[in-house]
């Protein structure tokens, strides 16, 4: 797939994996990369966690050579704290920093961070200027189309961000009030793309190759970002690549492929965090991988209580017998 240039960073794909809080840890990224994902983000980090060197949060930056190129997303409100956090992230060998102006979570909005920044253009400007001036790695911004139906200010914010020197803009085609539900507004993404000179990466509602093509066609965007479409479905990257090249979908994974990928994902987690915590962390992924598979409702509670990787594999096999 053709390349995407973000500042000095050249990605050899136009399909990126979104930052996903509580999801995008190293094992998740590795599994997705094994199926064609070429650029991923760590889980987002609150700049103040870096300032206070909170070990549990900082270990989100843990990576390995095959987990490259890698971006990290920063959350915050205070520009000096954001810079401190960004410089630390840069010092860890991360290739790109994205500023989060899209998160709708209550606890984030309360701290005036995330999507709240779309209501505070001057503050956002201060943050972006200080980051673009002081960082060597590319800086991007992830926004929404606006706050609500009456405040759709994506074009204004995007132009402001471009003036501040960001290297690319990511836009989720829903507003703050929509959360993660409801239709994606292609028209606003298209308008943003038309008005900017830097790359625009579009996000929202991409579940398959056809959705990916639709996003490119409807908006003229330079790249797309996959979020929930990759949960328990790392094959989406191959599917999109195939659809964009040939107009045909990649053959859906069979039971063996789902089983083997789930077991591999669990193994990566247990290797990193030990068996007990690995299985706890895998709980949400059991549900994603086994979605729509007959018999899963009986098996999932047993998987949640499993004590070893072997037990998980045996339980999964009973589903696929
Ligand atoms: C569990 C979960 C965690 C998310 N965490 C983040 C995050 O940390 N940073 C961010 O910018 N967006 C986050 N998002 C939003 C997604 O990146 C994406 O913008 C959104 O889900 C829309 O894309 P989709 O419709 O393809 O899922 C999260 C979404 C979900 C479902």
Query: In 204-274, where do the E strands start and end?
Result: 223-226
What is the distance of C-alpha 282 from the center of its chain? Answer: 18
* Co-location of 198 and 110 in the same domain: yes
How far is the centre of ligand 1, averaged over its atoms, from the C-alpha of 111 (Å)?
A: 19
pLDDT at position 248 is 78
First-residue to last-residue Cα distance in the chain: 37
CB of 18 closer than 6 A to ligand 1? yes
Classify residue 251 by its DSSP letter.
Answer: P
C-alpha 300/C-alpha 297 separation (Å) is 6
The residues pairing with 92 across neighbouring beta strands, listed in sequence order, are none
How far is the centre of ligand 1, averaged over its atoms, from the C-alpha of 208 (Å)?
A: 16
pLDDT at position 250 is 67
* Co-location of 206 and 271 in the same domain: no
pLDDT at position 233 is 96
Contacts of 277 (CB under 8 A, 6+ apart): 269
C-alpha 65/C-alpha 57 separation (Å) is 20
Domain count, the chain: 2
* Co-location of 49 and 146 in the same domain: yes
205: domain CATH number is 3.20.20.70
In contact, 279 and 306? CB cutoff 8 Å: yes
Q: Which of 214-243 are b and which e, b meaning 16 or more Cβ less than 10 Å from the residue's Cβ?
A: bbbeebebbbbbbbbbbbbbbbbbbbbbbb
* Co-location of 129 and 56 in the same domain: yes
The residues pairing with 97 across neighbouring beta strands, listed in sequence order, are 72, 139
* Co-location of 146 and 234 in the same domain: yes
Concerning whether 208 is annotated as a catalytic residue, the answer is no
Report helix, strand or coil for 48: helix
Q: 246, 280, 298 — which closes off a domain?
A: 246
CB of 228 closer than 6 A to ligand 1? yes
* Co-location of 170 and 266 in the same domain: no
CB of 143 closer than 6 A to ligand 1? no
3-state helix, strand, coil in the chain (%, to 5): 50, 15, 35
What is the distance of C-alpha 26 from the center of its chain? Answer: 13
In contact, 218 and 186? CB cutoff 8 Å: yes
C-alpha 136/C-alpha 154 separation (Å) is 26
How far is the centre of ligand 1, averaged over its atoms, from the C-alpha of 180 (Å)?
A: 7
310: domain CATH number is 1.10.1200.80
* Co-location of 12 and 158 in the same domain: yes
If phi > 0 it is left, if psi is from -120 to 50 it is alpha, else beta; for residue 201 that is: beta
C-alpha 246/C-alpha 102 separation (Å) is 33
CB of 23 closer than 6 A to ligand 1? yes
pLDDT at position 122 is 98
Q: 246, 266, 294 — which closes off a domain?
A: 246
Residue 35: domain span:
4-246
Question: What's the token pair of residue 199?
Answer: 């790359």
C-alpha 290/C-alpha 293 separation (Å) is 5
Select which of 103, 164, 208, 221 is catalytic. Answer: 103
Q: Whose CA is nearest to atom 18 of ligand 1?
A: 227
* Co-location of 147 and 293 in the same domain: no
* Co-location of 219 and 267 in the same domain: no
Q: 246, 264, 283 — which closes off a domain?
A: 246
Model confidence, pTM: 0.97
- What 3 state SS string does 258-277 have? HHHHHHHHHHHHHHHHCHHH
Q: Whose CA is nearest to atom 6 of ligand 1?
A: 20
Q: What is the pLDDT along the chain (321 residues), one digit of tens a residue?
A: 589 999 999 999 999 999 999 999 999 999 999 999 999 999 999 999 999 888 889 999 999 999 999 999 999 999 999 999 999 999 999 999 999 999 999 999 999 999 999 999 999 999 999 999 999 999 999 999 999 999 999 999 999 999 999 999 999 999 999 999 999 999 999 999 999 999 999 999 999 999 999 999 999 999 999 999 999 999 999 999 999 998 877 677 888 999 999 999 999 999 999 999 999 999 999 999 999 899 999 999 999 999 999 999 999 999 877
């Amino acid at each position: 797939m053709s390349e995407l240039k973000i500042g000095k960073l050249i990605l050899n794909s136009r399909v990126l994996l979104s930052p996903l809080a509580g999801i995008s840890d190293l094992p998740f990224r590795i599994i997705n990369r094994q199926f064609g994902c070429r650029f991923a983000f760590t889980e987002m980090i609150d700049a103040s966690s870096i300032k206070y060197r909170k070990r549990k949060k900082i270990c989100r930056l843990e990576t390995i050579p095959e987990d490259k190129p890698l971006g990290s997303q920063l959350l915050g409100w205070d520009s000096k704290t954001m810079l401190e956090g960004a410089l630390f992230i840069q010092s860890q060998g991360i290739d790109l920093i994205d500023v989060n102006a899209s998160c709708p979570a209550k606890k984030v909005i309360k701290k005036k961070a995330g999507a709240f920044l779309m209501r505070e253009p001057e503050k956002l400007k201060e943050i972006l200027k200080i980051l673009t001036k002081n960082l060597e790695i590319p800086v991007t911004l992830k926004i929404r189309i606006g706050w609500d139906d009456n405040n759709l200010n994506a074009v204004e914010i995007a132009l402001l961000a471009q003036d501040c020197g960001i290297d690319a803009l990511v836009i989720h085609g829903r507003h703050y009030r929509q959360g993660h539900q409801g239709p994606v507004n292609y028209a606003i993404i298209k308008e943003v793309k038309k008005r900017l000179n830097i790359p625009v990466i579009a996000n929202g509602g991409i579940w398959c190759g056809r959705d990916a093509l639709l996003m490119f066609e409807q908006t003229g965007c330079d790249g797309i970002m996959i979020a929930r479409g990759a949960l328990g479905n790392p094959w989406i990257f191959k599917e999109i690549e195939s659809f964009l090249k040939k107009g045909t979908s990649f053959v859906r994974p069979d039971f063996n492929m789902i089983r083997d990928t789930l077991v591999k994902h669990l193994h990566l987690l247990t290797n990193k965090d030990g068996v007990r915590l690995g299985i706890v962390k895998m709980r949400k992924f059991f549900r994603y991988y086994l979605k729509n598979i007959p018999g899963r409702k009986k098996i999932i509670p047993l998987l949640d209580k499993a004590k070893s990787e072997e037990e998980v594999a045996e339980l999964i096999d009973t589903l696929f017998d």
